[in-house]
Amino acid sequence: MRQSTLTSTARREFLKFLAASPYVAAFGGVAAYLRQSAFAQSGPQASDVISDPASALNVFDFEEAAHRKVLPGHWAYMASGVDDDGTLRANREGYKHVELRPRRLRDATKVDMHVELFGTTYSSPIYLCPTGGEKSFFPEGELAVAGAAKARGALQVLSTVTSIPVEDVIKTLGRPVWQQLYAPSSWDACEKILRRVEAAGVTVLALTVDNTTGRNSETYLRTRPKDLRQCTTCHESEAGPTVKERPMYDGIDMTGVKTTNPAMDWAFADRIRKSWKGKFLIKGMDTREDARLCIEHGIDGIMVSNHGGRSTETLRATIEALPEMVAEVNGRIPVFVDGGVRRGTDVFKALALGAKAVGIGRPFLWGLGAFGQAGVDRVLEILQGELKLAMGNCGTQTVADINRAYVATPDWKI
C-alpha cells in the first residue's frame, strides 16, 4: 500500500513537471508527448487528471483535463507555435531568467491588486487575451469566459474572430470588452467593424500587426488529424472556419477581401487613429524603434506580444523585449505584455519590468476546455492568488509599488 501511494504521488509530480514544459506543449500536451516518447507505456492514468476545477493546484493541472475533451484539430491549433516552436518555448523560458529581489519586514496584510486601465478599475492586472473561436474549446465559448471575467473582475479582450457576437459578450460581461482588430484588406470592411464595436460600447481597440502575412504553423499541420473530413462537423469545409462562421463579419461583403491586410503600414494605422474615437493600441510590437513610432503616431498603448509564439519565429521572449519598450515610451503611454505567463510570479516579474497589465492566453483556454466557465474562473483565481502571495512576500502593497528594483536579470545581455 505504501509503495503504491509513493508511486502514485511520484507519477503526479512527474506529470506536473511535464505539463510545465514548453517542449511538451509543442507536442500538443502531456498525453500527446507521452504517446510519442519513451514514456508511452506509463502514460497518464485517469486518476492523475483533475476531475473538477477545485482540485487544481496550478494552471498546468488544467492542460491534460482539457486535452482529453477538446477535439484534436482544435487542440493542435491552440497548442502549436510556428516553425520549430522555438518562440513558443522562449516565451516560457524567458521568465526563468528573471529573478525576484524581495524586500522583508513589510506589512503584507494590506495587499491590493486593483489596477486602473483607461478609466476602468479591475481586480488585478491579469487580463484575458483575445483568442479566436473559443467555442472550439467549450460550447458557450466567449460567454463562459465573460462570465468568469465578470466574477473575478478581470479585463476581457475579444478577438475579431470571436465565435460569439460582441454585443452578447458585453451583455454577459456587464461592461465593455476591449476589442482586438484584425484589419481586413478592404477599408470599407474595416470601417464597418469599427462602427459596429463602437455602437456596442467598446472604447479600447487593439490592432494586431504581427501576423498580417500569415504564418508557418508546422507543428499544427503535423499534429492535427490526418483525416480532415471530421472538420465538417464544426465547419463548412475541411479547411476550417470561414468568415461566414465569424459573427464579426455579419453584414459585411467580404468577397475578395482578406481578413488580414499584408499591405498595412503606418499610414493605415493613422487612418484608423483618425476614424476611431476611443483609445487605440497596437498589439504585436517588440522593438524600441517601433515603440518610438507608436509615440510619434499618437498611439495610446502598446501590447508587447508575439501571438504566443504563433506569428514569426523570432526566438525572443516577450518578457525580454519588454524592458526596451518601457524605456523608450518612458511613461508616456502604458505598455502591456503577454506570452508564456503561467504563474503569479511571472505576472509580478512583468510588472516589475514596467508592464501596466499582463495577459494570459493558453492557461484560460485550458480551463475553458476542461470545465467551461468554472475552469476559467479557477485559472483566474489561482493566478490572482499567486500574484497576491508574490506581492506580499516581496513587500509590495499595491501594483504601483512594484518596480525594477524587485527583479534581477543577471544573464540578460541588456
Of 184, 188, 194, 413, give the one whose Cα is nearest residue 316: 413
CA angle 30, 68, 138 (to 5 degrees): 125
Q: Are 208 and 181 in contact (CB under 8 A)?
A: yes
How would you class 198 by CB atoms within 10 Å of its CB: exposed for 0-12, middle for 13-18, buried for 19 or more? Answer: middle
Give the ranges where 86-217 is alpha helix by DSSP (H).
86-94, 141-152, 166-173, 187-199
Instruction: Report how far Cα 1 is from the mean position of its chain's Cα atoms.
Output: 43
The yes-or-no answer on residue 297 being catalytic is no
For the chain, the residue count is: 414
Residue 103 φ/ψ, nearest 5 degrees: -105, 140
Which is it for the CA torsion 267, 269, 272, 273, positive or negative? negative
Q: Which DSSP string corresponds to 124-153?
A: SSEEEPP-S-GGGTSTTHHHHHHHHHHHHT
Q: Are 114 and 403 in contact (CB under 8 A)?
A: no
> Could you count the other beta carbons within 10 Å of the beta carbon of residue 40?
10
Q: Could you tell me the CA-to-CA distances from 198 to 138, 158, 170, 244, 295 in Å, in that order? A: 27, 13, 12, 22, 24
The Cα 47–Cα 52 span in angstroms is: 12
Catalytic residue among 67, 114, 297, 307: 307
Residue 281 φ/ψ, nearest 5 degrees: -110, 155
| Grid coordinates given for 278 | 476611443
Indicate which residues carry an active-site annotation: 307
